[in-house]
Amino acid sequence: MDDAGTFQYLDTKFDALATSGTLDLSEENTPYIDIASEGEWHIDANAEPTSIKYNLKFYTTNFSGLEDNKFSIVKRPTCSSDATDWSCASCGLSADAADGINANDGSGFFRQSNYD
């Protein structure tokens, strides 16, 4: 994790998906059509970082309907339950399938590098 801020730790939890409104998110003219209903991760720093890039690795075996390079990690403010707040940075939907971005790694995990 690269950080230019002063946070000391991250709180993480997996919780039920809280969402209302209409999803309005696209990447390179490809619309996202759904958010996985299995739940959502909450990742919060104890202090606001000024900038951050991090690598993510999530267990995805219990998520249904995921196809390699047809899904990505999206984010929104922790306190939001509005679907219009979902966004992504460097989502990678157009990534080369051979690089393993937005793909399960064969052991049930999904990884994404340099997320911000």
Residue 93's pLDDT band, with cuts at 50, 70 and 90, is low
Which residue did the predictor score with more confidence, 44 or 113?
A: 44
Residue 61's pLDDT band, with cuts at 50, 70 and 90, is confident
d(CA 40, CA 105) in angstroms, rounded, equals: 20
Residue range 86-108: mean pLDDT, rounded: 64
Q: Which H or E run contains 13?
A: strand 10-15
Tally the C-alpha atoms within 13 A of residue 98's C-alpha that lie toward its C-beta: 0
- The model's pTM is 0.70
d(CA 97, CA 9) in angstroms, rounded, equals: 33
> Tell me: the pLDDT tens digits for 15-34?
898 888 888 888 778 888 88
